[in-house]
Amino acid sequence: MKTRDLAYIALFAAVIAVLGTIPAIPVGPVPITAQTLGVMLAGAVLGARRGFLAVLLFLVLVAIGLPLLAGGRGGLAPFVGTSAGYLYSWPVAAFVIGWLTERSWDRYNVLRGTLINVVGGIVVIYAVGVPVLKAVAGLTWGQALTGGALPFIPGDLFKAFAAAAIADVVRRSYPVIERPRRTATTR
């Protein structure tokens, strides 16, 4: 890993932190925040490995006691609370988005990017977040879904689109992801 990669990782950890200063909309146990936009961007701009590490670094900053989560939350409390599962899913989401983005790098456009961000940024996050919410709060599946997934879907769809639109411009003007190396078995 080059120093350049470390700088990119640190940069996106900072981006996610700054997105947390945009006021969150509190709806029930898990607030709507702009921070998942940063998670999607980390994967879509940096790729799987660096995107994963950037989000992980952000969570480390939160865990060591900096109030960087939306609404000024921080420390270890969010990692054992109701939104814990969502936090744990973030690095995985960035990795999945990055992995898929790398694979469609030559054909990337806003539509494709949006679909990728939906898979990584919505499906993956709820696949981890909702079961953890259910376990931590002792809810039924129906309650966990209505409280911890449905209110966020519209906002998440917009964030998936926004991240893809931004990533598409960045890809054309300052590509960070390298074209995947051609393997011996072509097609």
Partner 1 sequence: MTLALYVPVGSPVHRLPAGVKLLCLAVLAVLLFARPTPTVAGAALVGTLVVGLGVARLPVAVLARQAWALRWFLLVLFVVHALTTDVATGAHTVLRLLTLVLAAAVVTATTRVSEMVRVVERLCAPLRLVGGRPERVGLLIAMALRFIPVLIERADRIRAAQAARGGPPRGVRALRTTVAPLLVQLLQMAHDVSEALDARGADDTPVRRPGRA
Residues near partner 1, by CB under 8 A: 1-4, 6-11, 13-15, 17-18, 21, 26, 28-29, 41, 45, 57-58, 60-61, 63-67, 71, 73-77, 79-82, 136-140, 143, 147, 162, 165-166, 169-170, 173-174, 176
Q: Which two tokens stand for residue 149?
A: 């997934």
Q: Identify residue 14 by its one-letter amino acid code.
A: A
Cβ nearer to partner 1, comparing 33 with 82: 82
Return the number of the residue (127 or 162) whose C-beta is nearest partner 1: 162
Total number of residues shown for the chain: 187
Q: How far is CA 51 from the centre of its chain?
A: 9
Residue 142 structure tokens: 């129906």
| Spatial distance between the Cα atoms of 34 and 10, rounded to a whole number of angstroms | 18
CB of 117 to partner 1, least distance (A): 13
Q: Which is nearer to partner 1, 143 or 153 (CB)?
A: 143
* Largest separation between any pair of C-alpha atoms in the chain: 52
- Closest approach of partner 1 to the CB of residue 93, in Å: 19
Using an 8 Å Cβ cutoff, are 159 and 36 in contact? yes
Nearest approach, Cβ of residue 57 and partner 1 (Å): 6
Nearer to partner 1, 138 or 186 (CB): 138
Find the shortest distance in angstroms from Cβ 164 to partner 1: 9
Nearest to 51 by CA among 43, 59, 60: 43
